[in-house]
Amino acid sequence: MSSHYDVLGVSAEATGEEIKKAYRKLARTLHPDVNPGDDASDRFKAVTHAYEVLSDPQKRRIYDTTGNENGTDNGSGGGGYSGQGFAFQDIFDTFFGAGGTSGPASRVRRGQDALISVRIELRDAVFGVNRKLEVDTAVTCPTCNGSCCREGSHPVRCDICGGSGQVQRAVRSILGQVMTAAPCGSCEGFGTVIKDPCNECSGQGRIRSRRSLTIKVPAGVATGTRIQLSGQGEAGPAGGPSGDLYVELRVNNDATYARDGDDLHATLHIPMTAAALGTELSLETFDGLQEIDVKAGTQSGEIITLRGLGVTHLRGYGRGDLMVHLQVETPAKLDAAQEDLLRQLAKLRGEQFTEGKLAASGGVFAKLRDRFGNL
């Protein structure tokens, strides 16, 4: 015999809400009025009985402990629809909708949240910035101030539902003919009708408009960071409160600097002679001009770190670093005089050339030998 969990198609660890959701889904399919037939009727009774047991915490505990399919200590209590712990309202909610007697709906509702994308420069991400935005959104109607009515008028009670916002109708169910409530088609469930709506907003209480606002972008933001502005989203219908505005930031790529976390990276090209002799270079950073000391004998790929000149930490104090990558440039073309000077330099350094070829002894080859000598 299948367990109640198998009948409902849920696991033994399912929550009460998951059990209710599974039951409602099956009940809509297997209900005799929807799916006539003995097999569907039997399955409907089975899922209803399973739900009767599993929806009651005490019965579910007993069922899990003893295996008693009725969820009772003494085995009494039948299946079907007569269990004390079974909520008949769940059946009504499944077919007729929950909250049928909750009264008229309110025209006043909260506005929707809005999301816009804003691009900023890398400098703005490093230090933060105040940005002025133009936003197209829904705002409270300035003519009726959200009342939805023309000046001097007001909503009147609906004649069809008498102000309840609902009308009663008979529906055939497993319990016979029952009365259920549905939203009034005349007033759309509000209980009142606007006979003389505002001309500007057509009785909505809000209009589309462009408005300006200034946001503070904190230092340290990155692409994908969202800033929440409470109450700056769309105004709600009928003067309802505004939703929230979310600003998603996109940081533009910079021509000089690349970002890695809160560190900045830049590549600085220097002549071969400057790398060999050493020099001092000026680099324009987000913090102004910085002097960089290039030591004599600098090799291509070496990094000079400028502490605290990176991006400000978003959640904390201090800043990242600026990493300057040195790229030594070798001249591609030499005139005769330059070539002669380089040959003299090579000779002075003991680098022997024979018909343009470097002799395979000493120098760089010795270094390679020492490096791989243990292999």
Q: How confident is the model at residue 56 (pLDDT cuts 50, 70, 90)?
A: confident
Whether residue 308 is predicted with pLDDT greater than 80 in this model: the reply is: yes
The pLDDT tens digits of the residues spanning 58-68 come to 888 888 878 78
The whole-chain average pLDDT of the chain stands at 83
Rounded-to-integer distance, Cα 90 and Cα 122, Å: 56
pTM for this structure? 0.61
DSSP 8-state symbol, 237: G
Helix (H, G, I), strand (E, B) or coil at 209: strand
CA neighbor of 249 nearest in space, from 122, 113, 135: 122
| Residue 158 annotated as part of some ligand binding site | yes
Tell me what pLDDT residue 354 has: 59
Return residue ranges of the chain for CATH 2.60.260.20.
100-143+202-252, 258-329
Max distance between CA atoms of the chain, in angstroms, equals: 112
Which is more confident, 41 or 166? Answer: 166
Q: What is the reported pLDDT for 74?
A: 57
**Residue range 100-143+202-252, CATH number:** 2.60.260.20
Q: How far apart are CA 321 and CA 316, in angstroms?
A: 15
Supply the DSSP string of 241-291, one letter for each residue.
Answer: PP--EEEEEEEPPPSS-EEETTEEEEEEEEEHHHHHH-EEEEEEETTEEEE
Residue 182: band (very low, low, confident or very high) from pLDDT cuts 50, 70, 90 = confident
Cross-strand bridge partners of residue 207:
139
CB neighbourhood size of 170 (10 A): 9
Pairing state of beta strands 353-354 and 357-358? antiparallel
SS3 category, 125: helix
Q: Which residue has the tokens 């910079």?
A: 254
E strand or H helix at 120, and its extent?
A: strand 114-120
Q: Among 283, 307, 310, 308, which Cα is nearest to 294's?
A: 283
Cβ-based neighbours of 329, under 8 Å, separated by 6 or more: 269, 270, 271, 272
pLDDT digits (tens, 9 = 90+) for 87-103: 444 555 545 444 444 67
Q: Is 148 annotated as a binding residue?
A: no
**Regarding predicted confidence, which is higher, 31 or 223?**
223
Confidence of residue 365 (pLDDT cuts 50, 70, 90): very low
What mean pLDDT comes out for the span 260-276? Answer: 93
Question: Could you tell me the pLDDT band of residue 147, with boundaries at 50, 70 and 90?
Answer: very high
CATH number of 258-329: 3.30.499.10, 2.60.260.20, 3.40.30.160, 3.60.10.10? 2.60.260.20
Which part of the chain has CATH 1.10.287.110?
Answer: 4-96
**Which residue matches tokens 């109708």?**
169
Q: Does domain 4-96 have CATH number 1.10.540.10?
A: no
Taking the C-alpha atoms of residue 54 and residue 17, their distance in angstroms, rounded to an integer, is: 11
